[in-house]
């Protein structure tokens, strides 16, 4: 066999391996960057250099490009061709739309799970709340928010609506950043815990109307304090 043929065959696996690594890395890079934006580790206005991010994550430019494209689709980054890519400001209008979508879906979900009167499921919710309490006590807002998302994702999973949770999550970047800005406010974490407890108790007791009532109050908490958040972080918000 000619030497050129041997080299050609050897080159294919190396190229395929790189493409495979890029495919595997892309979702991880996206989730990590998205988490950094939602947590405000990368606040609005932060510049995003593809070369710097590739070095930081130890990947090629391809997963970075793909992640930034997905983040742009969610409205979390602004891309200015041939100039810069920056973390977007929080779009209040998009936050309000995400709240409307989430409330419409979750009101029906909690009604369904409360009608089922599933005490074992309610116990699972209570276990998440216990962990949330620990995170609140430790002042670990990132883990607190992760547990908050777990609480709500559990509701969607209980009604076999995981795909809808993925859709809602993809539309919730702006409202989630508002919540992150609001979370350190005195009493906010305790309010969230109290609402979660009330929702879980209503589900456990088989009281759909009470579950909906507490969920509605819970989901509306941040937007009801929008003026306060805007006054504290005017440079982070648009609209």
Polymer length in residues for the chain: 239
Q: Tokens standing for 96?
A: 């309000």
The predicted structure's pLDDT at residue 11 = 41
Query: pTM for the whole thing?
Result: 0.86
Average pLDDT over residues 110-130: 94
How much is the pLDDT for 17?
A: 56
Q: Summarize pLDDT for 150-209 with one digit per residue, the tens.
A: 999 999 999 999 999 999 999 999 999 999 999 999 999 999 999 999 999 999 999 999
Residue range 113-117: average pLDDT? 93
Residue 4 has a pLDDT of: 41
Over the chain, what is the mean pLDDT? 90
**Each residue's pLDDT tens digit, 15-37:** 555 555 666 788 999 999 999 99
Q: What is the average pLDDT across 101-122?
A: 94
Whether 13 shows a pLDDT value over 60: the answer reads: no
For 156-224, the DSSP string reads HHHTT-HHHHHHHHHT-HHHHHHHHHHTTSTTHHHHHHHHHHHHHHHHHHT-HHHHHHHHHHHHHTTGG
């Amino acid at each position: 066999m000619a030497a050129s043929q041997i080299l050609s065959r050897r080159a294919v696996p190396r190229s395929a391996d790189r493409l495979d690594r890029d495919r595997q890395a892309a979702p991880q890079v996206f989730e990590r960057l998205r988490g950094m934006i939602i947590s405000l580790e990368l606040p609005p206005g932060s510049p995003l250099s593809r070369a710097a991010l590739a070095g930081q994550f130890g990947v090629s430019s391809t997963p970075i490009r793909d992640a930034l494209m997905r983040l742009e689709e969610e409205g979390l980054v602004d891309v200015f061709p041939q100039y810069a890519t920056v973390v977007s400001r929080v779009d209040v209008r998009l936050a309000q739309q995400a709240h409307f979508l989430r409330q419409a879906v979750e009101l029906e979900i909690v009604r369904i799970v409360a009608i089922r009167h599933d005490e074992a499921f309610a116990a699972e919710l209570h276990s998440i709340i216990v962990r949330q309490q620990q995170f609140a006590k430790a002042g670990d807002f990132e883990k607190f928010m992760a547990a908050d998302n777990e609480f709500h994702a559990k509701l969607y999973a209980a009604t076999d609506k995981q795909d809808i949770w993925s859709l809602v999550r993809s539309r919730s970047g702006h409202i989630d950043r508002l919540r992150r800005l609001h979370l350190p406010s005195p009493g906010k974490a305790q309010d969230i815990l109290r609402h979660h407890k009330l929702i879980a108790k209503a589900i456990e007791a088989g009281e759909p109307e009470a579950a909906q009532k507490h969920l509605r109050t819970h989901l509306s908490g941040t937007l009801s304090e929008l003026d306060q958040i805007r006054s504290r972080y005017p440079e982070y918000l648009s609209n």
